[in-house]
């Protein structure tokens, strides 16, 4: 009897240690806790949980994410993933560590922002004196659009794309421009899409290039730090190809959103990003 108990205990101990012998993976959310980065990284966390011991860390903003990732990678055994946004300031010293490099870039996602207004508003946004609700660096984009069309436009800054959408709904601006369209797609019954920020049309919405606007394709770059890069990418690809995975469901629910996870040439993706958004 005693022998059986010892054998059973050893078996349990062995299987437990075998089961817990997964690599640790840190997922660092560099976006806000209520945003799309958090949503997709949470989906990845759930999906990757079968393959890794996942530690999810909130580190909002590129400076904070950089600081956290520098700490994680101070131990060369640690593995981590995060996302770098094309909308960040690429010359910022605080964010330098996070800027995609040959040894950290994993794959990119492309997304197109939207120019929109309230249903019933005048769809002609190329008029003198109109006001755009913006966030991030889109004030420069609006000024470029105004200059290209020989009109003057005003901007009102909000914290994020949700603030931009609510500002428009509250009547504080005539038009709105956001880099990630999720807030627009969520409120489609109240909003009227006018143009896509990217170079491609989407449904009835033409690219802003047809309005002399500077096209702006959003890039979310997945980054990987530490060893085990090929294994991780392969695992993520397998998960992404599964229609029932959380990340696939999340991606399918978005519009004007393209993932390059299965792309043959990541280096080409990285070069395209670097060319469009050079580090200052």
Partner 1 sequence: MEYIFYGVVAGTIAGLMPGVGIFATLLLLYPWLMELPVIDTFVFYLALVSTTQYVGSVSATILGVPGESSSLPAVYEGNTLFKKGEGGTAISGAAMGSVLGALLALGLITIVSPYLHYIYYFFNTYVQAIVLWSVLILMTFTSNKNILISIGLTCLGFYLGYIGCDIISSFGTCHVPIDHPDVTTGLPFISVVAALFVFPQLIKFYEPKLVGPTDQRKNTFFEHFKKFYSNIGSAVRGSVLGFFLGFTPGGSTALSSNTAHRYEVKREKRKGTYEQGNYRSLVAAETANNSAAFTTLLPLFILGIPFAASEALFYDIIITKGFVFQQNFDMAFFMSTIAYNLVIINICAFLVAWPFAKHISLLYLIPQKALNVFVFLLLCYIMWLVGSNYLQSEYYLIVFFLLLPVGYLIRHYDTMPLVFAFILQDRFYMNAITINDLIGNMLS
Residue 155 interacting with partner 1 (CB under 8 A): yes
By CB under 8 A, name the one of 52, 84, 105, 158 that touches partner 1.
158
> Whose Cβ is closer to partner 1: residue 28's or residue 261's?
28
> Whose Cβ is closer to partner 1: residue 80's or residue 256's?
80
Q: How far is the CB of 231 from partner 1 (least distance, A)?
A: 23
Residue 27 interacting with partner 1 (CB under 8 A): no
Residue 177 interacting with partner 1 (CB under 8 A): no
The contact pattern for partner 1, residues 69-108, with x = CB under 8 A and - = no contact, is -xxx------------x-xxx--xxxx-------------
The dihedral sign for the CA sequence 257, 261, 262, 268: positive
Using the rule CB under 8 A, give the single segment among 165-173, 200-208, 228-236, 246-254 that binds partner 1: 165-173
Please, are residues 109 and 193 in contact by the beta-carbon 8 Å criterion? no
> Whose Cβ is closer to partner 1: residue 84's or residue 205's?
84
Residue 163 interacting with partner 1 (CB under 8 A): yes
Q: How far is the CB of 91 from partner 1 (least distance, A)?
A: 9
Residue 38 interacting with partner 1 (CB under 8 A): yes
Residue 161 interacting with partner 1 (CB under 8 A): no
Beta bridge partners of 54: 25
Residue 33 interacting with partner 1 (CB under 8 A): yes
CA distance 142 to 176: 10
Residue 68 interacting with partner 1 (CB under 8 A): yes
> Whose Cβ is closer to partner 1: residue 135's or residue 207's?
135
Q: Considering CB under 8 A, how many residues would be counted as binding partner 1? A: 46
Task: Kindly identify the residues of this chain, within the stretch 107-136, that bind partner 1 according to CB under 8 A.
Answer: 131, 136
The dihedral sign for the CA sequence 51, 54, 60, 61: negative
Task: Kindly identify the residues of this chain, within the stretch 185-214, that bind partner 1 according to CB under 8 A.
Answer: none
By CB under 8 A, name the one of 60, 200, 229, 248 that touches partner 1.
60
**What does the chain look like in DSSP terms, one character per residue?**
-HHHHHHHHHHHHHHHHHHT-PEEEEEEE-S-TTSHHHHHHHHHHHHHTTTEEEEEEE--SHHHHHHHHHHHHTSTT-EEEEEEETTS-TT-STTGGGS--TTTEEEEEEEE-EEEEETTS-S---STT-EEEE-TTHHHHHHHHHHHHT---EEEE-SSHHHHHHHHHTTS-SEEEESSTHHHHHTTTTEEEEEESSSS-BTTBEEGGGGTPPP-EEEEEEEEESS-HHHHHHHHHHHHH-TTSHHHHHHHT-SSEEE-TT-S-HHHHHHHHHHHS---
Q: Which residues bind partner 1 (CB under 8 A)?
A: 32-34, 38-39, 42, 55, 57-64, 66-68, 70-72, 85, 87-89, 92-95, 131, 136-137, 154-159, 162-163, 166-167, 169-172
């Amino acid at each position: 009897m005693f022998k059986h108990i010892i054998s059973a205990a050893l078996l349990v101990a062995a299987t437990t240690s075998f089961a817990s012998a997964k690599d640790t993976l840190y997922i660092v959310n560099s976006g806000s806790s209520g945003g799309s980065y958090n949503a997709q990284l949470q989906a990845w966390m759930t999906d990757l949980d079968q393959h890794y011991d996942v530690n999810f860390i909130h580190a909002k903003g590129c400076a904070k994410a950089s600081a956290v990732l520098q700490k994680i990678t101070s131990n060369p055994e640690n593995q981590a993933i995060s996302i770098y946004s094309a909308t960040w300031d690429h010359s910022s010293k605080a964010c330098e560590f996070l800027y995609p490099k040959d040894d950290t870039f994993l794959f990119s996602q492309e997304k197109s922002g939207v120019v929109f207004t309230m249903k019933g508003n005048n769809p002609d946004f190329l008029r003198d004196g109109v006001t755009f609700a913006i966030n991030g660096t889109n004030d420069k984009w609006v000024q470029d659009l105004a200059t290209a069309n020989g009109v003057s436009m005003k901007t009102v800054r909000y914290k994020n794309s949700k603030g931009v959408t609510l500002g428009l709904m509250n009547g504080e601006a005539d038009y709105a421009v956001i880099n990630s369209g999720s807030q627009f797609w969520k409120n489609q019954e109240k909003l009227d899409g006018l143009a896509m920020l990217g170079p491609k049309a989407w449904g009835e919405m033409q690219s802003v290039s047809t309005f002399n606007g500077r096209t702006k394709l959003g890039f979310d770059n997945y980054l990987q730090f530490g060893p085990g890069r090929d294994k991780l990418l392969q695992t993520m690809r397998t998960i992404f190809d599964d229609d029932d995975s959380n990340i696939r469901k999340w991606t399918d629910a978005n519009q004007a959103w393209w993932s390059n996870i299965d792309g043959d040439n990541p280096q080409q993706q990285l070069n395209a990003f670097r060319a469009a958004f050079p580090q200052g």
